[in-house]
């Protein structure tokens, strides 16, 4: 069992007493799911082996996207699908970060605020591209809510292929491998549009202090694969893997992280309850889609991507070795090592 869930089982009542006022309905739902994940004897999955006729029951997973024990296959599937979309061009990563002063909004109204972040950044990038009149962009936006120390730090990573597709002329315009957009101009417009969007949102209120300069980072990231691999690590497996929790006592938890600027491994020690809250504050609202594809990278643009790849002289999915996408959970028979058939989830009745 996950070390985080073990701690949650032991301290969840104390957590409620100390942080009850901050626990949203979504966080409480995630806690309930994780407390029952692979530990509820009344809920199990049924499997059958067609080769040796062995039947097997396994305790059911909760399937919550914040659970560190679940959705590992979902992460692999997402990376496989994104890898199959890669084009033989250079890629850029643009990162839009909300200033520290807006963290209170992220805690109180995460769904509204994060939706605005997606809307503002996507329109901003499309508008910057339209000024150059070379066709439309394709890009993938991924929401991260934490920094390396796991503090609340909302930001969007956006992966953009270097090039544009002109639908009218059915042409691919090769981009500059060393330049996408001016980061300072992006930051200036990002600040203005985000403030305007928050002003017009009914449930949001601007903080008293607003920094004049916001941060947008725009950099080359090679041919895209390494960046997709990095982004996939925090999508569906919780925000802190078990391997990074290096010491647990009755009072404190110590975990390690890599400092961004120096790549030095550092440690952070926190009281148990504060550690649990540190992780749980990143539970996303129900229904919020944290990964979104735009332009020729959207899900229903497969034929368009095929056309672009032909213009580039390659076949979609052949830039890198095509990854296998698992459409269902897999269980291997302990006796004959054949893949078993999933029969469903059952619940025992008293």
Q: Is the pLDDT of residue 198 over 80?
A: yes
In this predicted model, what pLDDT tens digit does every residue of 89-126 receive, in sequence order?
999 999 999 999 999 999 999 999 999 999 999 999 99
Q: Is the pLDDT of residue 176 over 60?
A: yes
SS3 content of the chain, % helix, strand, coil (to 5): 35, 25, 40
Per-residue pLDDT band for 237 (boundaries 50, 70, 90) equals low
Average pLDDT over residues 329-341: 86
Give the least confident one: 101-105, 259-263, 291-295, 306-310.
Answer: 259-263
Joined tokens for residue 317 = 């999915």
For the chain, give the percent of residues with pLDDT over 90.
Answer: 61
For the chain, give the percent of residues with pLDDT over 70.
Answer: 94
Q: Nearest-CA neighbor of 131 among 87, 92, 197, 180?
A: 180
pLDDT, residue 60, reads 83
pLDDT, residue 42, reads 79
d(Cα 15, Cα 34) in Å, to the nearest integer?
14
In this predicted model, what pLDDT tens digit does every residue of 307-328 receive, in sequence order?
998 898 875 555 555 555 555 6
Average pLDDT over residues 26-31: 96
d(Cα 251, Cα 70) in Å, to the nearest integer?
27
Q: Is the pLDDT of residue 350 over 90?
A: no
Q: Is the pLDDT of residue 4 over 60?
A: yes
Round the average pLDDT of the chain to a whole number and report it: 90
Q: Nearest-CA neighbor of 252 among 237, 238, 266, 273?
A: 273
> What is the phi/psi pair of residue 303, to 5°?
-65, -35
pLDDT, residue 328, reads 61
Q: What radius of gyration do the chain's Cα atoms show? A: 23
């Amino acid at each position: 069992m996950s070390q985080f869930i073990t701690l949650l089982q032991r301290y969840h009542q104390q957590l409620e007493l100390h942080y009850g006022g901050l626990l949203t309905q979504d966080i409480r739902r995630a806690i309930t799911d994780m407390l029952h994940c692979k530990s509820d004897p009344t809920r199990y999955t049924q499997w059958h082996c067609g080769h040796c006729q062995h039947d097997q029951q396994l305790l059911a997973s909760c399937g919550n996207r914040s659970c560190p024990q679940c959705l590992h296959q979902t992460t692999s599937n997402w990376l496989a699908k994104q890898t199959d979309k890669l084009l033989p061009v250079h890629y850029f990563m643009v990162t839009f970060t909300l200033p520290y002063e807006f963290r209170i909004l992220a805690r109180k109204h995460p769904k509204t605020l994060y939706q605005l972040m997606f809307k503002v950044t996507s329109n901003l990038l499309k508008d910057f591209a339209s000024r150059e009149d070379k066709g439309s962009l394709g890009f993938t936006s991924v929401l991260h809510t934490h920094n390396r120390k796991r503090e609340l730090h909302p930001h969007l990573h956006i992966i953009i292929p270097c090039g544009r597709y002109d639908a009218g002329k059915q042409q691919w315009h090769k981009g500059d491998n060393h330049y996408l957009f001016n980061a300072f101009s992006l930051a200036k417009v990002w600040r203005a549009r985000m403030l305007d969007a928050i002003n017009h949102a009914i449930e949001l209120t601007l903080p008293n202090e607003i920094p004049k300069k916001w941060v947008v980072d725009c950099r080359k990231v090679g041919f895209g694969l390494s960046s997709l691999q990095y982004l996939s690590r925090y999508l569906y497996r919780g925000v802190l893997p078990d391997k990074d929790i290096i010491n647990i006592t009755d009072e404190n938890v110590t975990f390690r992280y890599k400092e961004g600027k120096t790549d030095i491994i550092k440690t952070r020690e926190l009281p148990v309850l504060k550690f649990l809250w540190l992780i749980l504050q990143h539970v996303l609202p129900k229904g919020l889609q944290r990964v979104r594809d735009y332009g020729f990278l959207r899900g229903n643009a497969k034929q368009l991507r095929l056309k672009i790849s032909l213009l580039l002289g390659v076949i979609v999915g052949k830039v890198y070795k095509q990854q296998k996408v698992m459409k269902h959970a897999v269980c291997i028979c302990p006796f004959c090592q054949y893949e078993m058939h999933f029969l469903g989830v059952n619940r025992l009745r008293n």
